[in-house]
């Protein structure tokens, strides 16, 4: 059995409570109106007692408060009205003088005493919580706008390196929608799955900001981006729910520009060497051409003398003279080709040139070296009348580079052959250089034409040959590519037979 509490004590507790208490009888008349209500409504207790709640606040019949009171009195039902401030609730204010609206939590509870029904209303001020929620909403909106204003890729990761959030720039640069990235591991954006350097970077000392790690990222389309990664960890005080905010600055174009500058410097150096070689070749040609001409002339005179003396033409002497003649002719072609090849040719005009002559002059520089190491060289017949408008020197340089690459590739194989094939149409000509190699690994195909990429041992290649060759062929408005569908290693050059005026200009 409960101990009986003195009535004055109960009244003190009710009237001094730090929340509102209203007690209504079955006629909805106010029996109790505590000090808290008086303070926040501007209606004193004396004014409220004996009056109906709807009259005091001028409430409409559809008021949710009156509905809750009536359900309590008639049905004995408890009702909760929470986090609300509108005309259908009680017009209470945090500060009556300033009419600062109060967000309220109202509970209507039914009570029965000595056969009479009563309704107890408890009103608490929820404004602080509501203000806090509004503040948090505003803060979240502000942070969201800050994130969207960042003009670099921004990715927020959790402790397991799962993507939690990305900004708009990330979707634009990487090609994914936000929901395609959120919830996925960081690996989906790294060019090489599980790039340990990136994971180590993110997992490093959480107390220090992290910056300047160069990694390669993959876009949705499959293209690669070189980025500089920086960021920092954000921890709560309890060290839970750790986040890593990563900023990725796209430097792909900068890297390409830097590589282009380096490649251009290398091209200038190569051009300088070619110029020096050209001067040397000119001097060698001058020194050699005269003795070769004399040897050629003497062989011719000896041939005529032997015929006058009646020496049979099947004599070994005539065979020797023929070999001397062929050798001097080959020496002349080599010197001619060396002089031509050592020029850069970039200042030359596009001129009609015999493709057969270009192929023959190029082969003269390397055919003997192929023969010496046992490499079979096959060349399809090139029509004598096949003329290409081009810079002859540059086409010869590209062709010789492909032949030398093929030689290096098959040098250690059991089956060693190189095939040069020429096919022409009405408007274009295709020249392919194919060797007995089994092709280029798929991982290397994308890098083939990048400056300084080479699979040759150190000291055996600069990695510039293919990239320079591609540039030269494109200057001719042609195409230069690796044929990945071939069963062997095959590079293809496609050139227009004629350069239109606008192309040349």
Write the CATH number for 459. Answer: 3.30.565.10
Residue 152 is predicted with a pLDDT of 86
Which pLDDT tens digit goes with each residue over 145-194? Answer: 777 777 888 888 887 888 888 888 889 889 999 899 999 988 888 876 44
- For residue 485, the tally of other CB atoms under 10 A from its CB is 7
Q: How confident is the model at residue 499 (pLDDT cuts 50, 70, 90)?
A: confident
How many structural domains are present in the chain? 4
418 located within any domain: yes
Hey, what are 80's tokens?
């909760």
Closest CA to 139 of 128, 131, 149, 129: 131
Q: Report which of 124, 123, 145, 141 is spatially closest to residue 133, judged by C-alpha positions.
A: 141
Radius of gyration of the chain (CA): 46
Report yes or no on 354 lying in a domain.
yes
Q: Residue 126 sits in which domain range?
A: 7-130
Q: What's the average model confidence in pLDDT over 358-365?
A: 85
Question: Which of 295, 314, 344 marks a domain boundary?
Answer: 344
φ, ψ of residue 475 in degrees (nearest 5) = -65, -25
- Is residue 319 in some structural domain? yes
Residues 310, 264 share a domain: yes
Flag whether pLDDT at 237 surpasses 60.
no
Are residue 340 and residue 375 in the same domain, yes or no?
A: no
Share of the chain above pLDDT 90, in %: 17
Average pLDDT along the chain: 80
Range of weakest confidence among 41-50, 346-355, 386-395: 346-355
pLDDT at position 109: 92
Whether 368 and 467 map to the same domain: the answer is: yes
What is the DSSP track for 57-102?
TT--TT-HHHHHHHIIIII---EEEEEE-STTS---EEEGGGTEE-
Who wins on pLDDT, 459 or 188?
A: 188
Residues 378, 485 share a domain: yes
354 lies in the same domain as 377: yes
Regarding whether 387 and 501 lie in a shared domain, the answer is yes
pLDDT exceeds cutoff 60 at 67: yes
- The answer to the question of residue 135 being in a domain is no
- Spatial separation of the C-alpha atoms in residues 223 and 225, rounded to whole Å: 7
- pLDDT higher for 331 or 79? 79
Query: End of a domain among 228, 250, 272?
Result: 250
Does residue 137 sit within a domain? no
pLDDT at position 271 over 70: no
When pLDDT is averaged across residues 364-377 and rounded to a whole number, the result is 85
User: Residues 480, 473: contact at Cβ < 8 Å?
Assistant: yes
Least confident among 268-277, 320-329, 397-406, 433-442: 268-277
pLDDT, residue 505, reads 47
- Quick one: 104 and 33 in the same domain? yes
Domain boundary among the residues 344, 367, 393 is at: 344
Using the 8-state DSSP alphabet, how is residue 451 labeled? Answer: T
Find out whether 435 and 409 touch, Cβ atoms under 8 Å.
Answer: yes
Which pLDDT does position 84 carry in this prediction?
54
**494/363 same-domain check:** yes
């Amino acid at each position: 059995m409960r101990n009986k509490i003195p009535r004055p004590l109960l009244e003190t507790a009710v009237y001094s409570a730090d929340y509102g208490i209203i007690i209504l009888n079955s006629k909805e008349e106010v029996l109790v109106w505590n000090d808290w209500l008086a303070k926040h409504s501007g209606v004193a207790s004396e004014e409220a007692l004996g009056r109906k709640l709807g009259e005091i606040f001028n409430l409409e019949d559809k008021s949710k408060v009156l509905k809750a009171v009536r359900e309590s009195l008639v049905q004995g039902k408890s009702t909760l009205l929470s986090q609300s401030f509108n005309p259908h609730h009680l017009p209470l204010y945090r500060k009556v003088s300033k009419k600062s609206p109060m967000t309220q939590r109202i509970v209507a509870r039914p009570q029965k005493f000595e056969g009479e029904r009563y309704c107890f209303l408890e009103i608490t001020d929820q404004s602080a919580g509501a203000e806090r929620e509004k503040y948090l909403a505003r803060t979240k909106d502000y942070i969201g706008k800050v994130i969207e204003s960042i003009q670099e890729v921004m990715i927020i990761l959790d402790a397991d390196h799962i993507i939690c959030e990305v900004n708009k720039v990330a979707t634009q640069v990487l090609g994914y929608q936000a929901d395609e990235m959120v919830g996925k591991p960081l690996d989906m954006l790294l060019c090489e799955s599980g790039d340990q350097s990136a994971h180590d970077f993110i997992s490093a000392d959480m107390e220090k900001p992290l910056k300047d790690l160069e990694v390669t990222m993959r876009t949705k389309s499959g293209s690669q981006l070189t980025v500089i990664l920086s960021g920092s960890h954000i921890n709560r005080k309890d060290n839970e729910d750790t986040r890593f905010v990563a900023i990725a600055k796209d430097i792909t174009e900068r890297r390409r520009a830097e590589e282009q500058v380096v490649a251009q410097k290398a091209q200038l150096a190569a051009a300088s060497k070619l110029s020096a070689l050209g001067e040397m070749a000119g001097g060698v040609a001058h020194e050699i051409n005269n003795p070769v001409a004399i040897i050629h002339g003497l062989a011719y005179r000896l041939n005529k003398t032997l015929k006058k003396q009646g020496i049979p033409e099947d004599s070994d002497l005539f065979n020797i003279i023929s070999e001397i003649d062929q050798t001097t002719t080959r020496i002349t072609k080599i010197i001619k080709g060396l002089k031509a090849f050592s020029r850069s040719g970039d200042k030359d005009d596009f001129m009609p040139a015999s493709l057969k002559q270009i192929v023959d002059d190029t082969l003269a520089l390397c055919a003997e070296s192929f023969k010496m190491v046992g490499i079979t060289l096959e060349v399809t017949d090139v029509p004598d009348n096949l003329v290409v408008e081009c810079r002859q020197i540059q086409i010869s340089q590209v062709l010789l580079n492909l032949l030398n690459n093929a030689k290096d590739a098959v040098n250690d194989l059991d089956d060693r052959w190189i095939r040069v094939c020429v096919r022409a149409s009405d408007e274009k000509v295709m020249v392919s250089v194919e060797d007995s190699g089994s092709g280029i690994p798929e991982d290397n195909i994308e890098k083939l034409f990048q400056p300084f990429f080479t699979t040759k041992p150190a000291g055996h290649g600069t990695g510039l040959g293919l990239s320079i060759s591609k540039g030269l062929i494109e200057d001719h408005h042609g195409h230069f590519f690796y044929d990945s569908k071939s069963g062997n290693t095959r590079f293809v050059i496609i050139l227009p037979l004629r350069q239109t005026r606008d192309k040349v200009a």
